[in-house]
Amino acid sequence: MKTFKYILLLISVSLLYACSKDENDLYKEERSSLLSSTQIGIYQNGKALLLFDKQTHQYYCNPSQKLFRIQDAQGKQYTALQLNALPSGQERTDGKVEGNMGIKLDGITQLYILQSDEQFVWLWSDDTCIGFILPNIGLSGL
């Protein structure tokens, strides 16, 4: 009978531990991959969808309009991130990516600041597993 109690206790503790994992742990590897990069761009599932190339692209940022854009030198091809609000501290926001460079991401929800420094801001959404690395131009208050 004692053995049965110990087995039952061991099973209960194992189940409790398995159920208590933080949801954010699901994306730890993807977030780490994003944080290990300093290349401006759009990332999904830890992999780059579009990277800014200063030889062929221009970067446009208008924090008052909550708009961040990568475009070709002629301005004909672009991809733009439009946020509903600028995230700050623990605040989160939603947004979408539009343009004519083959990337369209609607419904980016719960986007938050994963990290920021003097040069870059890393934004991340656990809901969509999408991240952005943006220059910290005009965003230093975030």
pTM over 0.95: no
Q: Quick check: 87 and 111 in contact, CB under 8 A?
A: yes
What are the tokens at 102? 């083959």
Could you report the per-residue pLDDT of 56-90, keeping only the tens digit for each? 999 999 999 999 999 999 989 999 999 999 988 88
Query: Measured between alpha carbons, how far is 96 from 83 in angstroms, rounded to an integer?
Result: 7
Query: Measured between alpha carbons, how far is 62 from 75 in angstroms, rounded to an integer?
Result: 16
Q: Quick check: 98 and 78 in contact, CB under 8 A?
A: no
Could you report the per-residue pLDDT of 95-137, keeping only the tens digit for each? 999 999 988 888 899 999 999 999 999 999 999 999 999 999 8
